[in-house]
Structure formats: C-alpha cells, structure tokens
Amino acid sequence: MINPQPVVLGEMPSLSKLYVNAATAAARRRVLGASTGKKKLPAASHEVRNVRADVDNLTAYQHLVGETASDILPAGYVHALAFPVSMSVMNRDDFPLPLLGMIHLKNHVQQRVPIAFPEALDIRSWAENMAGHKAGTQLDMVAEVRSSSAGELLWRGVSTYLAKGVFIPGIDKPGSTNGATGPADFSPPDPTALWQLGLDTGRSYATVSGDFNPIHLSVLSAKALGLRGSIAHGMYLASRALSDVGAAKADSFAWDVTFEAPVFLPARVALDITTIQSDSGSWERSDYVAWNPRSGRRHFTGSVTAGA
C-alpha cells in the first residue's frame, strides 16, 4: 500500500546527482554482492509542488520532437518534468532494484486535461506492481500531475521498467508469463515517415529532458554499461510519434507505447501511422509502429486514443 502522505521534496531533484548516486550504489553492490536484499517496494511517494515549465526548455523540447512551440505542454514533456521525481523514488535506500541498467518496457499516459504554460503543477510519484518477468523483475513507476491551484488531476503516467537479470526470491515465481511471449511476426507496412537520427540524438534529448543516462550519451558510456553502442531514449521516439500524430488528436487522450528492439544510433527509423475515424469522421485513434527499414526489426508500437 502506498502511504497517502507523500514525502514533499523542497525542490526538483537533480537528475545528474541521482545518476551519480545510482552509479555509486551499483559499484558498491558489485563489490559487496549483487542483491540489495530488499524484497518490497517503498510505500512512500515523493512530491514536488509548484513546478513550472521553463519556457526556453519547453520551446527547445518542442522543436526537438517536431512539435510547434505552443503554450500547451506536450504529454511527453510532462513525462520529462515528472521524471526526476520518479527517479528520486527509485534512488531511495529502500528501493529494491538497481536503477542503472533498467529497461523501459512500456509507457502509458492519460492526458486528461491540456496543461497550458505557465500553470503551476504538483507532481507526485511512487512505485507499484513489482512482478516477476522471464528476464528479471519488472515494476511500474506512477506519476500524477495536478494543478497546484485547483488540485485537479491533469496527467497520469505509468512507466513499466525491467531490472534485467535481477530475481527477487518470492517474486520470481516460476511460470511467470510476463514477457514470456516474444513479439509476434511482423511484416513492415509501407512507411508514412522516415526518421534520420544522428549520433547526437541521445545527447540532444538528454539536454532538453535532463535524462543523462549514460546509455544514451555516447558509444563509450553505453559500452561501459554493456551495450554495443548508444541508443535513443524511448520517450524521445514515442514523443516524436506523438508529435507526428499531430493536431488531429483530441484535447484529452491516452498515449501508449511498447518498446521492443532498441534504436542504436545513428539510425534510420521507418514509421507508419494509421488513423481510425468514427462514422461521423471525427478522430478516434491513431496507431503507430516503427521499425528498422533494413532489418525489418520492430522498434516500438503504440497508439493515441481519444479520451483519457
């Protein structure tokens, strides 16, 4: 159960400090033994109040993912605003899984009400649903964004992460079906767009989102964490897909993405967006799928659906 009283942080946590802290903890574990020894998710939630978007940062984010710089915060930008709060929960001493090396499996966002700059926001985050996965242990990081003045819930995000190779006794019950079925056979459709992603894509998104996870920054820093090269941020790819869905979408919507093969940089990514309209012609849903145009491997799939 999540404690109804959040731990209120005085200011937005610094992501760079959190990453350094996580790296130190990881090094310590390597010396002292693999497991954190914890079996439960922390019951605490963290909250930061009166958060306002920085207009230069907002504009830079919008331009990077292909959005027009309007006063409405893109749903992916709100995720980036909330991310340090979630990270601070995952950085707690009583958090059972190692933060570094976690894999973003899927993301679900409900944009209930459009958020306009410069509205003040209260951002709260906690962890829940720790469960076994065939490759390790997965959990959900939940973030809720409310209007500081009215208290209304505006945005809710659930990010599902996998701690690969971490098995917690009692949770890694045999026969876990999470992640057990591989991706279905995929035959690429004709693309509606083709993205050219340069080697600096990860660094550019890190600059606007603050997510300086080393796996995205350079070949060297990614190799240090066991990857063969740097990879694009999942939320960068999903945010570009959301931007490509465009202005047709309704004011309130649900936005889903499931990540499959990572995008190693530099890359060409093929994208197909299919729009589903109601009988009256109004927008109902846009489905998207992205793949590697050379290998045909699927990178991610998702949808944007009217109503949240």
Neighbouring CB atoms inside 10 A of 217's CB total: 16
Q: How many residues bind other proteins (CB under 8 A)?
A: 17
DSSP state of 135: T
Binding residue (CB under 8 A) for other proteins from 20, 34, 43, 69: 69
Binding residue (CB under 8 A) for other proteins from 17, 28, 63, 268: 63
Question: Binding of other proteins at residue 193 (CB under 8 A)?
Answer: no
Question: Binding of other proteins at residue 59 (CB under 8 A)?
Answer: yes
Question: Binding of other proteins at residue 207 (CB under 8 A)?
Answer: no
In the complex with other proteins, the residue whose CB is nearer, 35 or 70, is 70
Q: How many whole angstroms separate alpha carbon 224 and alpha carbon 137?
A: 22
Preceding peptide of 266 cis, ω within 30°: yes
* Min separation Cβ 282 and other proteins, Å: 7
x/- contact string, 112-131, with other proteins (CB under 8 A)?
-----xx-------------
Q: Is 74 exposed, middle or buried (0-12, 13-18, 19+ CB in 10 A)?
A: buried
Binding residue (CB under 8 A) for other proteins from 34, 55, 194, 199: 55
Question: Binding of other proteins at residue 247 (CB under 8 A)?
Answer: yes
Question: Binding of other proteins at residue 1 (CB under 8 A)?
Answer: no
Q: How many whole angstroms separate alpha carbon 51 and alpha carbon 81?
A: 8
Binding residue (CB under 8 A) for other proteins from 43, 248, 268, 276: 248
Strands annotated E in the chain: 7-9, 46-51, 103-111, 121-133, 136-147, 153-164, 193-197, 253-259, 267-277, 283-291, 298-306
Question: Binding of other proteins at residue 43 (CB under 8 A)?
Answer: no
The stretch near other proteins (CB under 8 A) out of 90-98, 149-157, 216-224, 246-254 is: 246-254
Question: Binding of other proteins at residue 68 (CB under 8 A)?
Answer: yes
CA distances from 124 to 147, 165, 212, 280 (A): 12, 29, 21, 39
Question: Strands 7-9 and 46-51, how do they pair?
Answer: parallel
Site for other proteins, rule CB under 8 A: 55-56, 59-60, 62-63, 68-71, 117-118, 246-248, 281-282
